[in-house]
Amino acid sequence: MHLLHLFDLSLKLRESAAALEWNGAEYTFGDLERRSNRAADALRRQGFAKGDRLCVQLSNCIELIDLYLACVKLGVIFVPINVLYREREIAHIVNDAEPRLVVTAENLASLLEGGTSETRPDLQLDGGTPAAIIYTSGTTGASKGAVLTHDNFAANAVNLVSCWQISDRDRLFLALPLFHIHALGNGLHTWLLSGCRMRLVERFDHRSATAELLDFAPTLFFGVPTVYVRLLDTSPDDARAIGESMRLFVSGSAPLPPHVLERFRELFGHTILERYGMTETFMNTSNPYVGERRAGTVGFPLPGISIRIEGGELFVRGPNVFCGYWRRPDATAAAFTGDGFFRTGDMATISEDGYITLVGRKSDLIISGGFNIYPREIEELLLEQPGVSEAAVVGVADEVRGEVPVAYLVGEFDEEQLVRVCREQLASFKVPRRFVKVDSIPRTALGKV
């Protein structure tokens, strides 16, 4: 299914309804339809055609939505890039995706100025057409592009709207970054499908979050665990007031510690609903909307999604699962079993009454504040530095961010220089908090730390 058929339930059917609050202004779905037609016109004038890639490195803003919708309308593949990424990280994505254009805050305005036509492009396409490529899972140091189709986005949105009872009566407060699946796949798509009102903010800022929530009085909120840990600092009166208007708090992207769920319930009067997803698969499992939301678990498979646990690893198959890694047939083949199940790399157990619990990961992955860090990528950079002969980066528990990276190094090195290089070349959340000098790094016979 072309995603537009879902979006038209709002863009066309609810044309004059309030759709978006952004930066103090209000927009209807009709406004978004016209704005994205102009953005599509601007892209077409740059020579964009179906199948071309557009890289976008922007924090949350209305123009990012315009560009995404323009891509959907043109069959152009949207490639979002984390705004915190530095040159080295961006270069890898741009070299791999080979976009026709990279949009940043610098060239955004001049690009959009070139779009004047408000007529929607006339384009038929089927659901297997790629809608986005999102870079992820760099167990080899370099990340791979997960190719996500219109059908993948549609299957996820339909599941969540139905299972979480999202409707046009909802008010969604979206503060997570639109360059990841959490906000893009779950937030933006359920908003456009349900036709609810959304207030978008540039980013989640714990200093202003309470005031924003009180002011907007949302019914629906998506957060990563760090966001919920931050919200535990809300005063009891404010928390009660926010809880009164709220219908549903959802958490995902990293494990929500049970004590956070408990404390949050006492303060806000709501049991956070935890679900589990991946960039390659969108949402796989969710705690129930009605019934027990069990702390420490990620609930049950969502509709149409099959789950199997083999050798402790969770395998998943369904219309939500991506079609492969961009230009990486070997990696794609290795990621699937013979009967079409995707190997998630997540280790899981299932209780007798069917609740799934994630118990670890097969490969090294540090999740800090909901952002993924692949130790290998940082180790490779550290090993390029003078004096460093061995490097191992590991995740250390952190109250707020869940985990933070720490580097263990063998050799004679200048710590200040390492900090400087990491700051220059890595997103801030990847910079090791500490550099620990050790005599040797313990490894297994296979060389694994």
Answer with the entry of ligand AMP, ligand MCA, none that 346 interacts with (C-beta below 5 to 8 A by kind). ligand AMP
Distance CA 170, CA 250 (A): 14
Please count the other Cβ atoms lying within 10 Å of the Cβ belonging to residue 447.
6
Q: Which stretch binds ligand AMP (CB under 6 A): 35-43, 71-79, 230-238, 252-260?
A: 252-260
Is 271 exposed, middle or buried (CB count within 10 Å of its CB: 0-12, 13-18, 19+)?
Answer: middle
Q: Give φ, ψ of 317 to 5 degrees.
A: -140, 140
Please count the other Cβ atoms lying within 10 Å of the Cβ belonging to residue 247.
17
Name the residue nearer to ligand AMP (CB basis): 43 or 358: 358
83 binds ligand MCA (CB under 6 A): yes
Name the residue nearer to ligand AMP (CB basis): 235 or 363: 363
253 binds ligand AMP (CB under 6 A): yes
253 binds ligand MCA (CB under 6 A): yes
Q: Which stretch binds ligand MCA (CB under 6 A): 20-28, 29-37, 73-81, 274-282?
A: 274-282
Residue 413, helix vs strand vs coil: coil
223 binds ligand AMP (CB under 6 A): no
Distance CA 340, CA 121 (A): 35
**Contact string (CB under 6 A) for ligand AMP, positions 167-206, x = contact:** --------------x-------------------------
| Smallest separation (angstroms) from ligand AMP to the CB of 346 | 5
254 binds ligand AMP (CB under 6 A): yes
Answer with the entry of ligand AMP, ligand MCA, none that 255 interacts with (C-beta below 5 to 8 A by kind). ligand AMP
Task: Kindly provide the residue ranges of all beta strands, DSSP E only, lying in 70-219, ordered along the sequence.
Answer: 77-80, 101-103, 130-136, 144-149, 171-174, 197-200
From residue 3, give the alpha-carbon distance in Å to each of 240, 319, 337. Answer: 38, 14, 28
DSSP string, 263-277: HHHHHHS--PEEEEE
| Smallest separation (angstroms) from ligand MCA to the CB of 418 | 17
Please count the other Cβ atoms lying within 10 Å of the Cβ belonging to residue 437.
12
278 binds ligand AMP (CB under 6 A): yes
Answer with the entry of ligand MCA, ligand AMP, none that 136 interacts with (C-beta below 5 to 8 A by kind). ligand AMP
Q: What end-to-end distance do the CA atoms of the chain give, in Å?
A: 45
Handedness of CA 83, 85, 91, 92 (dihedral sign): negative
Among 63, 96, 346, 379, contact with ligand AMP (rule: CB under 6 A): 346
176 binds ligand MCA (CB under 6 A): yes
| Residue 318: both structure tokens together | 């369904």
Window 227-246: residues binding ligand MCA (CB under 6 A): 227, 230
| Smallest separation (angstroms) from ligand MCA to the CB of 20 | 18
Q: Which stretch binds ligand AMP (CB under 6 A): 75-83, 94-102, 275-283, 325-333?
A: 275-283
148 binds ligand MCA (CB under 6 A): no
Name the residue nearer to ligand MCA (CB basis): 72 or 83: 83
Do 196 and 220 form a contact (C-beta atoms < 8 A)?
yes
Window 353-412: residues binding ligand AMP (CB under 6 A): 358, 361, 367, 372
Window 205-224: residues binding ligand MCA (CB under 6 A): 205-206, 224
Q: Which stretch binds ligand MCA (CB under 6 A): 36-44, 333-341, 365-373, 413-421?
A: 365-373
- What single DSSP character describes residue 235? -
Strand pairing partners for 116?
none
Name the residue nearer to ligand MCA (CB basis): 268 or 371: 371
Which phi-psi region, left, alpha or beta, contains residue 318 (left: φ > 0; alpha: ψ -120 to 50)?
left
Long-range (24+ apart) CB contacts under 8 A made by 258-263 are 258/295, 258/296, 260/225, 260/228, 260/229, 260/232, 261/228, 261/295, 262/295, 263/232
Which element (helix H / strand E) includes 66? helix 62-74
Name the residue nearer to ligand MCA (CB basis): 61 or 217: 61
| Interface residues toward ligand MCA, by CB under 6 A | 59, 83-84, 176-177, 180-183, 203-206, 224, 226-227, 230, 252-253, 277-279, 369-371, 400-401, 428-429
| Interface residues toward ligand AMP, by CB under 6 A | 136-137, 181, 252-255, 274, 276-279, 298, 344, 346, 358, 361, 367, 372
